[in-house]
Amino acid sequence: MLCLGIESTAHTFGCSVVNSMGKILSDTREVYKAPEGSGIHPREASRHHMELSPDILRNALKLANVTMEDIDIVGYSAGPGLGPCLRVGAVIARTVAGFYKKLLVPVNHALGHIELGAMLTGASDPLVLLVSGGHTMILAFSHSRWRVFGETLDITVGQLLDQFGRALGFASPCGNRIEQLASQSAGKYLQLPYVIKGNDVSFSGLLTAAVKLASHKTELADTCYSLQETAFAMLAEAVERALSFTNKKEMMIVGGVAANKRLAQMLDSVCNRQDAKLFVCPIKFAGDNGAQIAWTALQEYLATKMNVQVEESTVQQSWRLDSVHVSWRR
Ligand code: AMP
Ligand code: MG
């Protein structure tokens, strides 16, 4: 079977064709770039997606060497995400599925990150750290659902990095630039608030303090280094406790922030102590992409024969992963 996956929850519009063996035949995407110093404007991002979507869709089919006639399933990210952006993906999915009479499968975006990560890394029953622009969650699978073992109480780690970068006038997303700056520090740690409550983390006080620190006469590289060290140590502590509690022998990082080498290094130490194996989603597929949606839609269809009617193909801006029934995992 062949599935066309459409991703449009936030800054990325992506289309991908994936087969039921897990081969990614194409992956085309474009990322909306906000003006320097500002965040995603949902209407501007949706306009970007709308304008580029015909070319991205056409390219995804062309690179996979297929036509719409060859596609069996159209999967689309139905949430959580920004309403105007989600609606662009859903309109395109409904249009092609309706016109070409294809099966239509809505997908939870966070589940997409995990399912594609598991397929690409070979992790079978991992504790998951989902770290992206929209999520900071520690999850483990039990009784048909991904259960939350810790999460952020306010902003996500992606928002922490992006909002810190934007305060300095960088263009969003800023995680990569902050990682590069941090690597130039000689390892001079500047004190920042470390907030962990139970197994949940809180980043908003850290953001305020880091922005304040950057406005003083400190080396920017040292501030970026200290910000990363503090935020990632909080995540590592919560992950270590969850690993110990769940006794999972695998740990997987997914989401855009999984591209960060320092985070992977810290989690590697945690896994060594807890006798678990670390799996890191390949950088190319760590951030938002159509393949995560296509692969998850295929799993859903093969397990449940899900096929929603166009009239029922809604989007949900808020759609928690732990409310999604996953029938194909044990
Ligand atoms: P996603 O929402 O999954 O597409 O992830 C986007 C988030 O990943 C943004 O907040 C980026 O700043 C962040 N990100 C991307 N690359 C890196 C990196 N190398 N280090 C830290 N964060 C990153
Ligand atoms: Mg994402």
Q: Which residues line ligand 1 (CB under 6 A)?
A: 132-134, 158, 161-162, 173-176, 179, 255-257, 259-260, 287-288
From first to last of its 330 residues, the chain has per-residue pLDDT tens of: 999 999 999 999 999 999 999 999 999 999 999 888 788 899 999 999 999 999 999 999 999 999 999 999 999 999 999 999 999 999 999 999 999 999 999 999 999 999 999 999 999 999 999 999 999 999 999 999 999 999 999 999 999 999 999 999 998 899 999 999 999 999 999 999 999 999 999 999 999 999 999 988 789 999 999 999 999 999 999 999 999 999 999 999 999 999 999 999 999 999 999 999 999 999 999 999 999 999 999 999 999 999 999 999 999 999 999 999 999 998
What is the model's pLDDT at position 36? 83
What is the model's pLDDT at position 96? 97
DSSP secondary structure string for all residues of 97-129? HHHHT-EEEEEEHHHHHHHHHHHHH--SS-EEE
User: What's the predicted TM-score (pTM) here?
Assistant: 0.96
Q: How far apart are the CA of 305 and the centre of ligand 1, in A?
A: 34
Residue type, position 309, single letter: Q
Secondary-structure class of domain 114-285 per CATH: alpha beta
What is the model's pLDDT at position 35? 86
Is the domain 2-112+287-323 a CATH 3.40.50.720 member? no
Angle, alpha carbons 34-35-39 (nearest 5°): 50
DSSP secondary structure string for all residues of 267-299? HHHHHHHHT-EEEE--GGGTS--HHHHHHHHHH
SS3 195: coil
Q: How far apart are the CA of 287 and the centre of ligand 2, in A?
A: 6
Mutate to test the pocket of ligand 1, among 109, 161, 183, 321 (most ligand atoms within 8 A of CB): 161
Distance of CA 38 to the CA centre of its chain: 21
Give domain limits for the chain.
Answer: 2-112+287-323, 114-285
